[in-house]
Copies of this chain bind each other. A is one copy, B any other.
Amino acid sequence: MQLQTTPDGFSLLLDDRVLLRHSAAAPAIYVGHGQERMDMYRGNFEIEDYITERSALRHVTVEGSRISFSQAEGMAPRLEMTLAGTHIHFRSLDNSINRFWIRIQAEGDEHVWGGGEQMSYFDMRGRRFPLWTSEPGVGRDKTTEITFKSDMAKAGGDYYNTNYPQPTYVSSRRYALHVESTAYSVFDFRREAFHEIEVWAVPERIEFHSAPSFIELVEQLSLRFGRQPELPDWVYRGAIIGLKDGMNSFSRLETMRAAGVQVSGLWCEDWVGIRQTSFGSRLFWDWQANETRYPGLRDKIVELNEQGIRFLGYVNPYLCVDGSLFPEAEAAGYFAKDQLGRTAIVDFGEFDCGVVDFTNPEAAEWFAEEVIGRRMLDYGLSGWMADFGEYLPIDVELGNGIDAKLMHNAWPTLWAEVNAKAVASRGKTGEALFFMRAGFTGVQKHCPLLWGGDQSVDFSRHDGLVTVMCAALSSGLLGNAYHHSDIGGYTSLFGNVRTPELLMRWAEMAAFTPVMRSHEGNRPRDNIQIDQDPEVLSHFARMTRIYVHLAPYLKTLSKEAATLGLPVQRPLFLHHEHDRRTYAIQDAYLYGRDLLVAPVWQAAQAERPVYLPEGETWVHVWTGEVYDGGQMVTVPSPIGSPPVFYRKSSTFAETFKALAEI
């Protein structure tokens, strides 16, 4: 980075890009003080800030690579920044500062992507994104009735709410910016001339990355945040079937296999048993096999394994007070404490839980070894949903003594680390597969697979099928190579239920993602299930065969992910950066370099338009029709034939061509 001083300021350049420009009249940094109000209700936050001070730091003193900032000449410096390579380190010289704003130079036609796993907007320009791990909300669109009703239960959410925020963005100017801080932060991309970053603390540092191409930039980021291992081999055998029907799950699995469904795993989240509440069936949050709901499960798992099918379960970082693990953890002091030093108890809706304190190394070790290691891996599980991570209450006392408001965002990564450590302890890294919805900076290093969280069972713009693509693309740019989602969506509320069409459209998108996994949803009985409708079942079976057919190709993508850090699902611009028409596309993606997938994400779409990037010749998979790139084409998209194209020059062309026969 290059520092250029001016009479009353400086500019900071990265390979000729001006990133910071400071003068007394147009300062780059503001500091101040705020008093926040943060109310959590079951993972949903109501956050309000009362800013009592925001001061421009107009005066700077530059000494070598160190710049001191004060409000005016002659006043005491309040902040110091030091340049080191492409990093800017910050040091507060004033204890009263708890708000920090920095303005990064922007260009009019600049696009920005990232922010963690964003569900609504891939290109973040023009909007403001608070970055705070939470429930993403139901509906997530203030103009819809479902969001309104959910908001009445404090759970409606908005476009920026996500389980996995990350204060990192990639700019079309071919640089990336990362804020190293776990504090609440906001990326504000609404201004023409600058991006404003707000942090509720003076951040440790801001990192810049730059590269001549997007691909190289993404490679860098994936090295910075950590790479995932390749997918386990067993995954390629087919879909992971999600059933939570007790012992019926096994016979239902057989029915599906008999219908031609290719299966790699059976996922029963109810393996821990259930609890009846007025809301309906909930899982029993005590992480071990439940003999009542699954008698002889250990043997059943062995039987399944012999048929080439793995068994997956469920775990989250809480322990219910009426489970057998709670007293053990409490006696050992493994839980986060309340203000009076007692075990902090969190209400999850008619049952209470303790929060295992992962900042206490012994607690983390115990959870990894005794819970996940011994009761899950040793029992025979090959994977699990590692649920939650977003709910750390902001008023608990933690073992490391750090304010829970600062640990809240850090929690998903700690949670991922506990899971990864357990897997590694059994030598099963790259073999056991857990998947998470929550995340934050560094989750990449530990979590082998993201899942897109709890979409609504519909085609809605901000909470339906289409959001999963945005999630895969945004998180993928930041080093999360593997993404997948609940086939058919999850959340069914206020009479909103799955249609067969939705289930089929979702499955045919999932066939072109790293992992196919079905879910019965939050209300299995109110919603159609794959095995309940012959048309849906046969469509699903075909999609699993497509997935398996593509396995050799997917393996090469998985290798690329491990060696280069490239995500399996990629924005079109990643391989077509000179075609700016690709920059805003978020409802189509490249599946590796060679396949372009444009899922149907609305109801009753007999055809859909697809933009084909220029400089390539594209072949429509189902008809074999050939198209020049650089144009928008509209192709038929009946159920079973979502718009998918391959590069004519692909080395996998024959494989792709054969898809039409499946």
Residue numbers of A with Cβ under 8 A of B are 30, 32, 51-56, 71-72, 74-75, 142-143, 145, 148, 151-152
Contacts and interface: CB of A to CB of B under 8 A. Distances in A.
A54 B56 contact: no
Contacts of A32: 54
Nearest to A147: B148
A53 B54 contact: yes
Contacts of A52: 30, 54, 56
A466 to B, nearest CB: 22
Contacts of A30: 52-53
Nearest to A148: B148
9 contacts: A52-B56, A53-B54, A53-B55, A53-B56, A55-B55, A72-B75, A74-B74, A75-B75, A143-B152
Contacts of A71: 71
A55 B75 CA distance: 14
Contacts of A53: 30, 54-56
A353 B609 CA distance: 43
Contacts of A56: 52-53
Contacts of A145: 148
A54 B145 CA distance: 38
Nearest to A72: B75
A51 B99 CA distance: 13
Counting chain B CB atoms within 10 Å of each CB, the highest count among A30, A52, A145 belongs to A52
Given A51-B51, A53-B55, 4 more contacts: A52-B54, A52-B56, A53-B56, A74-B74
User: When A and B form their complex, which 4 residue pairs have the shortest distance between CB atoms, in order from nearest?
Assistant: A148-B148, A54-B54, A55-B55, A53-B54
A96 to B, nearest CB: 10
A32 B52 CA distance: 11
Contacts of A72: 75
A84 B260 CA distance: 90
A52 B53 CA distance: 10
A30 to B, nearest CB: 7
Contacts of A54: 32, 51-55
A72 B71 CA distance: 11
A71 B70 CA distance: 13
A563 to B, nearest CB: 45
Counting chain B CB atoms within 10 Å of each CB, the highest count among A54, A143, A145 belongs to A54
A16 to B, nearest CB: 29
Contacts of A151: 142
A137 to B, nearest CB: 16
A30 B71 CA distance: 16
A513 B75 CA distance: 62
A104 to B, nearest CB: 15
A126 to B, nearest CB: 13
A335 B55 CA distance: 42
Contacts of A55: 53-55
Nearest to A152: B143
A1 B143 CA distance: 52
A283 B662 CA distance: 67
A24 to B, nearest CB: 12
A55 B145 CA distance: 42
A218 to B, nearest CB: 32
A14 to B, nearest CB: 25
A652 B584 CA distance: 76
A53 to B, nearest CB: 6
Counting chain B CB atoms within 10 Å of each CB, the highest count among A53, A74, A75, A142 belongs to A53
A246 B183 CA distance: 66
A30 B143 CA distance: 37
A30 B54 CA distance: 10
Contacts of A51: 51, 54
A100 to B, nearest CB: 14
A372 B74 CA distance: 63
A56 B56 CA distance: 12
A172 to B, nearest CB: 24
A55 B78 CA distance: 14
A53 B55 CA distance: 5
Nearest to A32: B54
A56 B30 CA distance: 14
Contacts of A74: 74
Nearest to A191: B50
A513 to B, nearest CB: 35
A425 to B, nearest CB: 50
Counting chain B CB atoms within 10 Å of each CB, the highest count among A32, A56, A148, A152 belongs to A148
A145 B145 CA distance: 9
A387 to B, nearest CB: 30
A352 to B, nearest CB: 28
A229 to B, nearest CB: 45
A133 to B, nearest CB: 25
A52 B145 CA distance: 35
A8 to B, nearest CB: 17
Contacts of A152: 143
A74 B70 CA distance: 15
A152 B151 CA distance: 15
Nearest to A55: B55
A78 to B, nearest CB: 12
A56 B53 CA distance: 7
Nearest to A151: B142
